[in-house]
Amino acid sequence: MTDGLQRPTVSGQRSEGELTQGASKLDMDPPKPEPSPGLPRQVVYVPSCVTRMMGPSRSDSETASVHEKLLSLFAKAGYEVIYPEVSPVHAALLPHS
């Protein structure tokens, strides 16, 4: 039975596990980076309007905001969070916000 739609033909199909030409397998156990001695574990975080406004929907089982989750991850990784001073005027001009 046909639906009348044209389907593209696929040539040169690969078997499972075979890679596309030029591709390399991902290392599923990459070496873990070592912290640089003497450097503080700090991160600059600029929460944008978008991440503060968007959050879980009412139907989600997760209730934490993006901001709360990110701060939790930073804390677990041992990072001190630095908030730059941003005026309300400049906050609206932040890239991607």
The vertex-54 CA angle with 51 and 58, nearest 5°, equals 150
- Return the pLDDT at 80: 93
pLDDT in tens, 17-55: 666 677 777 878 888 878 778 888 899 988 777 776 777
93 pLDDT more than 70:
no
Per-residue confidence (pLDDT) for residue 81, from 0 to 100: 93
Residues 6+ apart with CB under 8 A from 32: none
Q: Give the CA-trace dihedral at 70, 71, 77, 83, to 10 degrees.
A: 110
Query: What mean pLDDT value characterizes the chain?
Result: 75
Residue 92, SS3 per DSSP = coil
Q: Where are the alpha helices (DSSP H) in 1-97?
A: 49-53, 66-76, 88-91
